[in-house]
Amino acid sequence: MRKTATALIVTGMALFVIILFSSSPANAFKRGTRCQIIRDAITFAPENLQHYLVTNFEAVHKGIHHVDLLDKRNKSLNPYEAEDIYRAILDSIEKGKFCSYNTTHRFGVLAGYLAETVNPANHKNLRYLVPGRVHYDGEHAIGNIHNSLSRIIRDYRNPYLGQQRREVTDFLYNVAVNEIVDHWSSAWRATGQEAGEMKLAGYDIQRARQADLLRGINLKLKLPG
């Protein structure tokens, strides 16, 4: 009897371990939320970079949903894969592939990885997660991309793991948008591109209605769809 009980316990523990390590958490920012994040990030981007992203919006937009493939393949997101994506953007532009689909698509892929690195929680819907006010905190140069990703994990991903209070989700949404802009701008400048006129720190996006979502309402350059 004791041996049977012990065998059941061992079997149960083995199953628990298998489930624990084979399952993968769903993406924190859902597809609709990431659509909004990328529009808000473009709103805050320097003028020339903003024009580039809007002109190539279809490829950038598809890129931010690249992380959905991880869910379909039952894989967890590795934040440090963003390092290879960032370097691939630099390499493509430096090789003159400035307007190729792959280059512009990678801007979106990088944004998706950064958003999911900032916010590891699993949220229910678009309206719950998108704050009524999104605040631009000014440009911050990235420098070493590996160190930047480690900072995001240390300062945001780890401390706020699993937290879904509204003040936390609003904060992390703002962080994600600003981190995306900073990484985009740093890649842009690192390849010798002129940024153009920049937004001042304190620039805000204000929303009062559901209809304000997913419309790129703050952009002078109209976004597709």
End-to-end CA distance of the chain: give it in Å, rounded: 66
The answer to whether residue 22 is domain-embedded is no
φ and ψ of 204, to 5 deg: -120, 155
The answer to whether residue 190 is domain-embedded is yes
- Its domain, for residue 128, covers 27-212
Helix (H, G, I), strand (E, B) or coil at 103: helix
Residue where the block lists tokens 């070493």 = 144
> Measuring CA to CA, which residue among 61, 65, 68, 63 is closest to residue 27?
68
The answer to whether residue 102 is domain-embedded is yes
Its sign, for the CA torsion 187, 62, 162, 79, is: negative
Give the C-alpha separation, 60 to 104, whole Å.
6
Tell if the pTM clears 0.75, that is, is over it: yes
The answer to whether residue 13 is domain-embedded is no
Number of domains in the chain: 1
pLDDT at 127: 57
The answer to whether residue 168 is domain-embedded is yes
Please list, residue by residue across 106-121, b when 16 or more beta carbons sit within 10 angstroms of its beta carbon and e when fewer do.
bbbbbbbbbbbbbbbb
The answer to whether residue 94 is domain-embedded is yes
Residue pLDDT tens, the chain, 225 long: 444 444 433 334 333 333 233 333 444 556 678 788 999 999 999 999 999 999 999 999 999 888 877 655 556 789 999 999 999 999 999 999 988 999 999 999 999 999 999 986 555 555 557 888 999 999 999 999 999 999 999 999 999 987 878 888 889 999 999 999 999 999 999 999 988 888 889 898 887 655 555 555 344 555 544
The answer to whether residue 107 is domain-embedded is yes
Residue where the block lists tokens 């153009």 = 196
The answer to whether residue 220 is domain-embedded is no
